[in-house]
Amino acid sequence: MANEFRKQAENRSIDESCQPIIEAGLKQGIETAWERLEKQKPQCGFGQLGICCTNCDMGPCRIDPFGNDPQKGVCGATADTIVARNLIRMLATGAAAHSDHGREILEVLYEAATDKADAYTITDVEKLKALADEYGLATDGISTKDLAKALSLKILEEFGTIKGKLQFYERLPEKRKALLNKLGIAPRSVDREIVETMHRVHMGVDNDYINLLTHGLRTALSDGWGGSMMATEASDVLFGTPSPLSSQVNLAVLKQDQVNIILHGHNPILSEMIVNAAMDKDAVAKAKAMGATGINLAGMCCTGNELLMRRGVPIAGNMLNQELAIMSGAVEAMVVDYQCIFPAIVDVAGCFHTQVISTASKAKFPGATHMEFEPHSAVQTAAAIVDQAIENFPNRKKDRLCIPNNPADWTAGFSVEALLKALGGSTDPLLDAIKSGQIRGAVGIVGCNNPKVKHDFAHVRIMERLIADNVLVVGTGCAMIAAGKAGLMMPESAEKAGPGLKAVCQALGIPPVLHMGSCVDCSRILVLVAALAKALDVDISDLPVLGSAPEWYSEKAVSIGSYFVASGVTVHLGLSPRILGSKAVTSLLTQGLESVVKASFFVETDPDKAADAMIEKIDQKRKALGI
Ligand code: CUV
Ligand code: SF4
């Protein structure tokens, strides 16, 4: 039996730090996402194909996938309409999640500028000025705070303005802008495109799948070149633009003799304050009085990525590690903000001493302790949360501890600014390496985990294959946490790259897989590809670059994939979206889009075949460029 559990753990994940915990969980019968997925099987075929509609109360309706009756919903909607509507509804939810996060950061920037939240300072004044310039604001003789106030208001207006385009849309290369303008899908504002999606999917509004999907692309662009980019830029202004640093990753970053606090979710605003609160002398003294040797913070998912990039806080794991972290028995508090947080962590925590502390008014978790975060009282809330964790330390059940050894080392912090600095101030050295073939191309690998895929396996396999073939990998999100755990993110990891890429990495002292941040920081990848296209005076779609989401699960990933495609980057998906119930939608997204936006999606579940296909596509682009 013991061997059985070990085997099962190895089948679920390639992350060695979590295998012993999965095994222990199996022995103790603790339910995790893997068990819950099993219990869902067989998952509904109509749902998987995207041909179930619940948009109104004449339904729910479903279409027979074998061509028998019914072929229409009660209202007459066809499979094409239903599939397209369902997909862009997912996309709009994802775009809303990113953008609402962006808005909150801007609101804190505004409050910091108007002295309503004095815990926050403006860290990157240079970036603030550059952004103000971009937005056409006068900067001479204006105080930092006044500038931050004017800028945050100006950007906030773009969420709902009735006129014009998003300012960051101007960052696109001319050729791409001209194409998108011609298609009529330049995003007008952030909220507007999302709201219009919600309008269009109502019964009896947009029934033309092409028209629906076209607006989906526009909505996605309002996320990539809007809400997400705003989140990234405003976070940099408030907390600093990342630069390379080293840290550690995997569940072994939890410490046996310290108070462990995990910061999970997406928004850095409260967690940045917790990082400060955990360094407070009195807090550390109290932890010692409670029998610990100190306070240990570890990130998880994208809150983790934000803190890693700017503060070097270690990361305990990615999306599928969240329940397992609690099952280590060593977590005093798991502090969550929003997005990608399993409601189930409260149940798992119930089997241990861990306190789940929710902090966002818009994200409550039944069974968790709610300690609401507000910018003006952030310092106090952060201190209270740390205190709560310290007081929980004596409740640890020592006989149930299961902390793995050997955290992996990694480097992160590759903002576009940091990358340019490493390159000596311009993209030329990178372009030269691409032209000479030392670097064959680049792939942005992003996105989540999904229990339908062996945890981290697809991410790591694709990355290893690509770098071995001299393809530079950049990325964000849980994909990068997978890379770090697998040892692909040290300068020494260049050994695993092909000779050309290895030489470039060694010359620059960088790893072959570059961590660019959290999911909203996919906007950094957009800025990078735009800069490369501009330098070559080509469209983004001419570059030998691709996107890939090998283990995606989230509605946010639907938006990310779509704004990459709309920006001219072809995207690989390791799991099919729920579109296969419409041949027309499937063929448009996987082929037809090529002639519209010069990029499309392709689905390949086998990581090796996916890597082969990416390399082939990169070579095609190189040939077309004449390099
Ligand atoms: Ni935002 S969206 S599982 S934490 S990358 Fe991770 Fe990243 Fe997907 Fe969520
Ligand atoms: Fe059925 Fe049409 Fe209502 Fe959807 S919108 S549930 S297809 S009647």
Q: ipTM score of the complex?
A: 0.94
CA nearest neighbour of 344 among 372, 324, 316: 324
Sign of the dihedral through C-alpha 126, 127, 132, 136: positive
Instruction: Report the nearest atom of ligand 1 relative to the CA of 519.
Output: 1
pLDDT (0 to 100) of residue 220: 98
Residue 375's contacts (CB-CB under 8 Å, 6 or more residues apart) are 107, 108, 111, 112, 116, 117, 119, 120, 269
pLDDT in tens, 129-186: 999 999 999 999 999 999 999 999 999 999 997 667 899 999 999 999 999 999 999 9
Distance 267 CA to ligand 1 centre (A): 12
Query: Could you tell me if the CB of 56 is within 6 A of ligand 2?
Result: yes
Q: What is the pLDDT of residue 43?
A: 98
What is the Å distance from ligand 2's center to 41 Cα?
A: 26
Chain-centroid distance, C-alpha 413? 15
What pLDDT is stored for residue 161 in this prediction?
Answer: 75
Q: Do residues 7 and 35 share a domain? A: yes
Distance 99 CA to ligand 2 centre (A): 29
Q: Is 192 helix (H, G, I), strand (E, B) or coil?
A: helix
Contact 213, 555 (CB under 8 A): no
90 alpha carbon, distance to own chain's centre: 16
- The confidence score (pLDDT) of residue 165 equals 84
Q: Is 402 annotated as a binding residue?
A: no
432 lies in which domain range? 410-625
**Residue 330 covered by a domain:** yes
Question: Is the distance from the beta carbon of residue 203 to the nearest atom of ligand 2 less than 6 Å?
Answer: yes
CATH of residue 371's domain is 3.40.50.2030
Whether residue 565 contacts residue 573, with contact meaning beta carbons closer than 8 Å, is answered with no
Coil, strand or helix: which one is 575?
coil
Q: Is residue 492 part of a domain?
A: yes
Residue 455 CB–ligand 1 contact under 6 Å: no
Low-confidence ranges of the chain (pLDDT < 70): 1, 162-163
Ligand 2 atom nearest residue 54's Cα: 6
> Domain tally for the chain?
4
The closest residue, in CA terms, to atom 3 on ligand 2 is: 56
Please report, for residues 110, 268, 269, the alpha-carbon distance to residue 376 in angstroms, rounded to integers and kept in the order given.
Answer: 12, 15, 11
Residue 529 neighbours by CB under 8 Å, 6+ apart: 540, 543, 545, 567, 568, 569
Ligand 2 centre and the CA of 64: distance in Å?
14
Neighbouring C-beta atoms of residue 367, cutoff 10 Å = 13
Within 13 A of 142's CA, how many CA atoms are on the CB side?
Answer: 17
Give the three-state DSSP class for 568. Answer: coil
44 among the known binding-site residues? yes
477 lines ligand 1 (CB under 6 A): yes
Q: Are residues 230 and 256 in the same domain?
A: no
Per-residue model confidence (pLDDT) at position 163: 67
**Assigned domain for 70 exists:** no
Tell me the three state secondary structure of residue 299: strand
Same domain, 208 and 300: no
Q: Has 266 been labeled as part of a binding site?
A: yes
Which of 319, 336, 552 has most ligand 1 atoms within 8 Å of its beta carbon, as the pocket-test mutant? 319
Residue 74, domain member (yes or no): no
The confidence score (pLDDT) of residue 164 equals: 77
Q: Which burial class, exposed, middle or buried, applies to 407 when counting CB atoms under 10 A from its CB (0-12, 13-18, 19+)? A: buried
Nearest ligand 1 atom, CA 446: 5
Q: Which of 315, 365, 361 is nearest to 340 (CA)?
A: 365
Q: Which ligand is nearest to the CA of 56?
A: 2
- Domain boundary residue, one of 207, 239, 271: 239
Residue 614 lies in a domain: yes
Substitution site in 249, 264, 266, 340 for ligand 1 pocket (most atoms within 8 Å of beta carbon) = 340
**In-domain check, residue 69:** no
- d(CA 265, ligand 1 centre) in Å: 8
Round to whole Å and give the CA distance between 211 and 393.
Answer: 56
> Is there a single domain that holds both residue 289 and residue 217?
no
Instruction: Indicate whether 438 and 506 sit together in one domain.
Output: yes
The pLDDT tens digits of the residues spanning 219-269 come to 999 999 999 999 999 999 999 999 999 999 999 999 999 999 999 999 999
Q: Do residues 102 and 231 touch, judged by C-beta distance below 8 A?
A: yes
Output the CA 400–ligand 1 centroid distance in Å.
Answer: 29
Of 303, 283, 305, 304, nearest to 294 by C-alpha is 283
